[in-house]
Amino acid sequence: MKFEDLNLISQLQQALADEGYEAPTPIQQQAIPHIIEGTDLVGCAQTGTGKTAAFAIPIINNIHRIVGSAKKVKYIRALVVTPTRELALQIAESFNAYGRYTNIRTITIFGGVNQNPQVDQLKKGVDVLVATPGRLLDLYKQGFINLDHLHTLVLDEADQMLDMGFINDVKKIIKLTPDNRQTLLFSATMPLPIRELADTFLTKPEYVSVAPISSTAEKVKQQLYYVEKSDKHRLLYHLIRNENLSNVLVFTRTKHGADNVVKSLKKHGVEGGAIHGDKSQSARQRVLDAFKNKEIPVLVATDIAARGIDIESLPYVINFDLPNIPETYVHRIGRTGRAGNSGLAISFCGKDEIPYLKDIEKLIRLKLKVIEGHPFPHKEETPESKANPPKPDLRNKNKNAAARGGKPKQGNSSSRKSEGSKKNKKRWY
């Protein structure tokens, strides 16, 4: 099948030809006809298979006739709600690229920056609004957003959007939209509880899944290094230097950890930048642009960016810390091996992360290939360490007794006074 077979408007076909698109990916091939017909849809496909185009192309096709000429008054016809600022910007880029020969106007709104420029853009009129939940609700309350003319609501990365942290915002947003809207959910993972939750506000949805749920891309080679937690920084530098790795995306579990990785690499002469929630939007975008332009060889990110980074031909992803949510692993390594390219995903596993590893392997139904013979393996227990166990912690006897299953002593065990002196103690009252 080719895009010509989908009966798209000529302006859209020309834009797709300019982008070098010839044939739709499996998710696009199945989703686009349903969306053009106006059906609600839940789309599940692994990261990098073209989910954004799967909803952007039919939305442009549907609202092009309604938008009409550039002089016509503009109303918000499509709303795309997405969890991260980076993802919002990339979705808007796709809409602008596919709709370049139409009069459709797309803007993004997100938090962390001054709202005035965004308000000015809204006042000029917009057809497609791409937004993060917080800033969307904020500007709606201030009266700058009108959703009465909305045709299509899209929740991108639906599993994260519908996670408990976003559920209240999602429900509020849905209540602001017309009842006769078309609702689309797209995500790389779709756990069963999320499906059940989605069914409550979708009307007779079509389900489209083109890969096993929570699968990883076939062309991504996955490797595992068992390493002591204290040696992770040295192993990272060892791999970058000895394997001559460049254009590497490194994931950490915490913001502080991301900053520490950048500092450690700089000490060894390797330039890098970090993006996480504590960085301003402009700082994050500056670092991301430097990485995309290959001005810095290493980008370190927390999971806030895992679903918002779209870099062509990214060869390496390194999990410096294994994620405690197995689905997050799928999203992380989905940054490489996109659009049919090959990629390498390397994971570091400390002793304390072995339970996370088991959960990940259970989800993806695959045993990661263990790389042995590197300089920083897990340290084995030696006879000396067994003969000389660590000294017991006597600072809190109650706590230690409870941990051993024993009965803690009555009274304040941290006090050095005898029981007799405690009984005879005179109170000032």
Q: What is the pLDDT of residues 386-411, one digit of tens each?
A: 556 556 655 555 545 554 555 555 55
Binned at pLDDT 50, 70 and 90, residue 371 comes out as very high
| Degrees to nearest 5, angle at CA 158 with 221 and 155 | 125
**How many other C-beta atoms can be found within 10 angstroms of the C-beta atom of residue 253?**
18
The torsion angles phi and psi of 314, rounded to 5 degrees, stand at -70, 115
Give the model confidence (pLDDT) of 213-263 as tens digits: 555 666 788 999 999 999 999 999 999 999 888 889 999 988 899 999 999
Query: How far apart are alpha carbons 336 and 217 in whole angstroms?
Result: 9
Amino acid at the residue 408: P
Q: Is the dihedral of CA 319, 324, 326, 331 positive or negative?
A: negative
* Selected residue with higher pLDDT from 303 and 320: 320
Q: What percent of the chain has pLDDT over 70?
A: 81
Of 328, 356, 332, 359, the closest CA to residue 344 belongs to 332
pLDDT in tens, 139-172: 999 999 999 999 999 998 877 776 646 778 888 8
Least confident of 113-117, 129-133, 161-165: 161-165
Cβ atoms within 10 Å of 341's Cβ, excluding its own: 15
CB 396 within 8 A of CB 414: yes
pLDDT tier for residue 418 given thresholds of 50, 70 and 90: low
Spatial neighbors of 349 by CB under 8 A, at least 6 apart, are 224, 225, 226, 227, 322, 356, 357
Least confident of 81-85, 106-110, 302-306: 302-306
Residue with tokens 């989605």: 198
Closest CA to 50 of 79, 77, 22, 78: 22
CA distance 86 to 304: 9
Is there a contact between 46 and 120 (Cβ–Cβ < 8 Å)?
Answer: no
- Give Cα separations from 101 to 9, 69, 394 (angstroms): 10, 12, 75
How many helices and strands (H and E) does the chain possess?
A: 17, 14
Short-list 247, 382, 399, CA closest to 309: 247
Task: Judge whether residue 343 has pLDDT over 90.
Answer: no
Pairing of strands 298-301, 248-251: parallel
C-alpha distances out from residue 16 to 100, 317, 355, Å: 10, 29, 45
Instruction: Tell which residue, 312, 288, 289, 282, has the closest CA to residue 300.
Output: 288
Q: Where are the alpha helices (DSSP H) in 278-323?
A: 281-292
pLDDT of residue 392: 60
Tokens standing for residue 263: 């500092």
CA 350 to chain centre: 23
Give CA–CA dist 31/250, Å, rounded.
32
Q: What are phi and psi of 209, to 5 degrees?
A: -140, 125
* Residues contacting 140, CB < 8 A, separation 6+: 147, 176
